[in-house]
Structure 1
């Protein structure tokens, strides 16, 4: 929702910082607030003045997703997140994607705390400006410039990041696939959902602990990398606790790519040739397409 609203503001010649007032929304973080709650008055205004249908408008709001509990947390003042490199910044991004976009926009998947790399480019995500270190705040941009520029220092955000480790990528891919499967038929407030379980298991941060939506990309990425490289262990493997839960996911991820790829290839051989997947890694989407072709060929 927020990224679309920023582009809508730009298309109408209004800097994002002032577009909230046009919609009747107060506060510096106006667009990020609308991601999480869309008032009826704003919804009606958008329906009356855009060509977007009601279902699409509702779908843009992150609050309607069963994964909303795993969204990176929004802070009242975005600059507060810049004071600690361990705190979340509500939004992260792939510099390569922003650099390639004809019209830059922030993806919905980038708001998930369990995402630490770009599935397309294989590079690490970033949640702060590479120049000034401030968190992302496109809603306070006072000039008519695309979203790939920092709202604080005007520096380009598309400075490349390094490649993510193979282990960290496998772990986040497993979690992403499991979340998609688990959330398909669950209600948003289902306490047994995987999203809720991930929220219930904190991770160590120095001498304290915190849950992933409250942590910066650096902390989350380092945690995933250390898990995948077996640098984190528990004294008693039979003990049930937060680290045991995360370690179980890390162990399961070691063979996840091979398993999904094998199933996809076998189904593809049985079903016959189909459209090539643009994904760099086998995923559940490719697996489901192969299963559909198999079903249709029967």
Structure 2
């Protein structure tokens, strides 16, 4: 033990690695809807390791290692994460995008620096500003998501200062992930992107349709994904491009054109139940809170039961649609609070 005059007492204790060998010293709790890579960045920072070297701890080489983890859910890396944080693998899996029915709608992992093309991740500056610990949401990876329903503004996919994509995985300093790796700009300070109410409504309707059809298992059996990818052609904007290849600003312009025309392109489907379901959502401009409750209940049931043999999706969707329409037919019931 050593004592310095007027200073602290320094004592030699057990080796550090022996003290924390079973867990990393700082635990970071995942936030609702957080993307796995976002949580991994925050975890590394909290334990004093910048994202790029933290990737090596998990067995990754240079490159877009954390976005790749979202998609591949690499067993060696997630086993390390689970072992040293205590978070079970099923919870980590739900934070990833592995096996998502909407995989084709995800923004691609681009590392080519092209500023006019899509970037892999979007963000809402105001969401980041309100977060106690800024984090990125899973839904910001979707090309069909172009606005923030909470703040009623458009999303961004690049640093407004230097126009670089979000590349927290490439950070070598102990800097939070909401600072641009290239120029250091605080993404929370980005200006607000205006999006009209009609565009926000269409955005929310499409998001609700995608979410519920993904959960009920009807996505692989209908043409929803193909139609959404063809939005640039449907609205006669960037006709040769796929939706996932466009920047956020270009996709916002596409949605603005779509909002001025009938929604027949989205409602038409071979399955009458699916078509009716979509029409009911579009007719009320989406019902995020109600649909969110229904979707969350279905998701919890799916994760809890995990049946080996999937039931025919139309039956489940039909029951859900019936419950939804009954609630829509009686608006007073939705507003009554339980005592």
CA contact (8 A) 1:150 1:157 kept: yes
Once the two structures are TM-superposed, the CA of residue 180 in structure 1 deviates from its matched residue by 1.8
Could you say what secondary structure the match of 2:187 adopts?
Answer: coil
Specify whether residues 110 and 271 from structure 1 end up closer, same or farther in structure 2 by C-alpha distance, changes over 3 A only: closer
Residue 32 of structure 1 corresponds to: 67
Deviations 1:234-270 (A, max 9, x none): xxxxxxxxx9736979999874328889975764623
In 1, Cα distance between equivalents of 2:61 and 2:181: 18
Specify whether residues 226 and 268 from structure 1 end up closer, same or farther in structure 2 by C-alpha distance, changes over 3 A only: closer
Residue 269 of structure 1 corresponds to: 332
Point out where structure 2 has 5 or more consecutive residues left out of the alignment: 1-35, 269-274, 291-324
Point out where structure 1 has 5 or more consecutive residues left out of the alignment: 234-242, 276-292, 294-298
In 1, Cα distance between equivalents of 2:196 and 2:265: 21
CA contact (8 A) 1:91 1:127 kept: yes
Deviates more, 1:265-274 or 1:48-57: 265-274
In 2, Cα distance between equivalents of 1:180 and 1:148: 27
Residue 281 of structure 1 corresponds to: none
Specify whether residues 192 and 18 from structure 1 end up closer, same or farther in structure 2 by C-alpha distance, changes over 3 A only: same
Taking CA–CA contacts closer than 8 Å with sequence separation of 6 or more, which of the two structures ends up with the larger relative contact order? 1
In 1, Cα distance between equivalents of 2:259 and 2:280: 10
Matched, 1:14 2:49: yes
Bigger Rg over Cα: 2
In 1, Cα distance between equivalents of 2:260 and 2:327: 27
Residue 88 of structure 1 corresponds to: 118
Following superposition of structure 1 onto structure 2, how do residues 115-130 of structure 1 map, counting pairs within 5 Å? 115-130=145-160
Matched, 1:203 2:232: yes
Could you say what secondary structure the match of 1:184 adopts?
Answer: helix
**What number of residue pairs does the alignment pair up?**
258
Residue 222 of structure 1 corresponds to: 253
CA-based RMSD of the aligned residues comes to 3.1
Matched, 1:171 2:202: yes
Deviates more, 1:202-211 or 1:88-97: 202-211
Following superposition of structure 1 onto structure 2, how do residues 130-141 of structure 1 map, counting pairs within 5 Å? 130-141=160-171
Residue 240 of structure 1 corresponds to: none
CA contact (8 A) 2:118 2:245 kept: yes
CA contact (8 A) 2:204 2:286 kept: no
Could you say what secondary structure the match of 1:62 adopts?
Answer: coil
Residue 283 of structure 1 corresponds to: none
